[in-house]
A and B are shown apart, each in its own frame.
Chain A
Amino acid sequence: GAVVSQHPSRVICKSGTSVKIECRSLDFQATTMFWYRQFPKQSLMLMATSNEGSKATYEQGVEKDKFLINHASLTLSTLTVTSAHPEDSSFYICSAGQTQRFSGNTIYFGEGSWLTVV
């Protein structure tokens, strides 16, 4: 099946710094990707929709200036956590489908990234 790769799998950064997480579709083009976050014992929560060549669409309550999303190509979306704080420590995971409208198609996930802000 289709593969989505995410990097890094784990990252530790200092409070106040920025960290970038990459999400790549390895064998298909993804015009739209999605970013989720999961806190302990909680469900995966959708943060934003990443659109190739245009601005991301953020879910209610997600700070767009803090979580910068760039989708510069059909195979790569990046999430940058800016001025990270310990409360941003979480599990971040991306997903992508093979067509822009995903009608009936499976949606594939990356492996996820653990972010720890110290």
Chain B
Amino acid sequence: ILNVEQSPQSLHVQEGDSTNFTCSFPSSNFYALHWYRWETAKSPEALFVMTLNGDEKKKGRISATLNTKEGYSYLYIKGSQPEDSATYLCAHRGSTLGRLYFGRGTQLTVWP
């Protein structure tokens, strides 16, 4: 069982604020790092699959960076909107197989 940690556990911000959260993971046996956005009663929505050290990916106002040598990834949301409210999950993948090891998630609430 891999130890994947996410912080903070929860976050409350005002609309328009920018925010970021952290995912830390074992740097050994690394293949990919997955980020998901999960709203209640819906399927987790895939945001990014990151594989290379130094990777930076962007999707609209959301971006992510990856440091495989030190074992962490940051997710950034610029100008948060109420519709960004969700739980953000990261997951470590150690091989080409699709087995993922998840953190507990960061629950983001954006107040209008």
Q: Could you tell me which A residues sit within 8 Å of B by CB distance?
A: 1, 4, 9, 32, 34, 36, 41-46, 49, 59-60, 95-97, 101-112
Bound CA–CA A49/B89 (angstroms)? 20
Q: B39-58 CB contact bits vs A (8 Å, 1 = yes)?
A: 00111101001010000000
Question: What total count of A-B pairs have CB within 8 Å?
Answer: 59
In angstroms, how far is the closest chain B Cβ from the Cβ of A62? 11
Partner among B4, B43, B103 whose Cβ is within 8 Å of the Cβ of A111: B43
Classify the interface of chain A: helix, strand, loop or mixed: loop
Q: Is B46 within 8 A of A106, CB to CB?
A: yes
Q: Can you pick out 30 interface pairs between chain A and chain B where the beta carbons lie within 8 Å of each other? A: A1-B46, A4-B43, A9-B41, A43-B103, A43-B104, A43-B105, A44-B89, A44-B91, A46-B99, A46-B100, A49-B97, A49-B99, A59-B1, A101-B96, A101-B97, A102-B96, A102-B97, A102-B98, A104-B32, A104-B49, A105-B49, A106-B46, A107-B34, A108-B43, A108-B46, A109-B43, A109-B44, A110-B43, A111-B41, A111-B43
**B72 beta carbon closer than 8 Å to chain A:** no
Residues of A near B36 (CB, < 8 A) are: 109
Q: Could you tell me which B residues sit within 8 Å of A by CB distance?
A: 1, 4, 32, 34, 36, 41-44, 46, 49, 51, 89, 91, 96-105
Given the known interface contacts A4-B43, A44-B89, A107-B46, the answer about A34 and B99 at a Cβ–Cβ threshold of 8 Å is yes
Classify the interface of chain B: helix, strand, loop or mixed: loop
Q: Is A97 within 8 A of B41, CB to CB?
A: no
Bound CA–CA A4/B46 (angstroms)? 12
Residues of B near A102 (CB, < 8 A) are: 96-98
Q: Is B98 within 8 A of A107, CB to CB?
A: yes
Given the known interface contacts A43-B4, A44-B89, the answer about A95 and B104 at a Cβ–Cβ threshold of 8 Å is no
Nearest residue (CB) in B for A6 is B43
Partner among A42, A103, A111 whose Cβ is within 8 Å of the Cβ of B104: A42
Q: Is A107 within 8 A of B100, CB to CB?
A: yes
Bound CA–CA A32/B91 (angstroms)? 18
In angstroms, how far is the closest chain B Cβ from the Cβ of A26? 12
In angstroms, how far is the closest chain A Cβ from the Cβ of B108? 16
